[in-house]
Amino acid sequence: MKEKIELEFLLKTSVKVFENLIFTASGLSEWFADDVNIKDDTFSFIWDGSEEEARLISKKNGSHIRWKWSYDEDEEEDYYFEITYNIDPMTRALILKITDFAEDGDEDEVKMFWEASIGELRRVLGA
């Protein structure tokens, strides 16, 4: 059984700019993976020449995007990775929440991956 991981970040950006970076192949390849290809509802993420495929489960502008890794398709549990977001009404900052799952013992590695990815996202945003 995998462990659920939830992380939260604040970003100074507009929803429109942010959605371009999470909903498009070119946007995702700027911060999340070296390259991203999308065919129908299958996203191919490429890191250091290694390719991982994920199926888009759901996406809603102003709310979230959720994928399921192809290697988890046969799992009975509902494992996924998701980016949810909204605007804080007081600060106008974008509140970004990451939900992911890790094998027992891999939690720190998954957290470090997301922290590095969000660091790269901040660099791209200039935030």
Task: Give, in order, the Cα–Cα distances in Å from 115 to each of 50, 100, 112, 118, 120.
Answer: 20, 12, 5, 5, 9
pLDDT at 84: 98
pLDDT digits (tens, 9 = 90+) for 3-34: 999 999 999 999 999 999 999 999 999 999 99
Global pTM exceeds 0.95: no
Q: How confident is the model at residue 78 (pLDDT cuts 50, 70, 90)?
A: confident
The domain locations on the chain are 3-125
CATH class of 3-125: alpha beta
The model's pLDDT over 48-69, given as tens digits with 9 standing for 90+, comes to 999 999 999 999 999 999 999 9
Distance CA 5, CA 41 (A): 24
Residue 126 near residue 25, CB atoms below 8 Å: no
Cα 60 from chain centroid?
14
Give mean pLDDT, residues 76-82: 85
As a dihedral over the C-alpha atoms of residue 102, residue 105, residue 109, residue 114, rounded to 10 degrees, the angle is 30
CA distances to 8, 10, 59 from 100, in Å: 12, 18, 16
